[in-house]
Amino acid sequence: MSSATTRKHAVVSGTVQGVGFRWWTARKADGLELAGYARNLFDGTVEVEAEGPAPAVDALVVMLRSGPPSASVTDVAVREVEPHGDEDGFRILH
């Protein structure tokens, strides 16, 4: 891998549950060849962690700010976390 591996944790707020947001995020992450997960939180937000080359992770974060057409994103809180290096692919957690 020519680029440094990074991992970012994001909490997406707005109308993001029940609109296919996790599925959409997983499709985008797969296309960028990222590892990680997306899951609904009890407060109505969606939690996303993505790991891979920094440019790809950053690209996913930009996509999260708009989301799928069915969603209405009001905020994305992002922070860097320690890469795990052990995940294979991007998963939707329930």
Active site residues: 22, 40
Question: Token digits for 57?
Answer: 């992770």
List, edge to edge, every strand of the sheet that includes 5-15.
72-81, 5-15, 46-53, 35-40, 90-93
Contacts of 86 (CB under 8 A, 6+ apart): none
Distance CA 33, CA 39 (A): 18
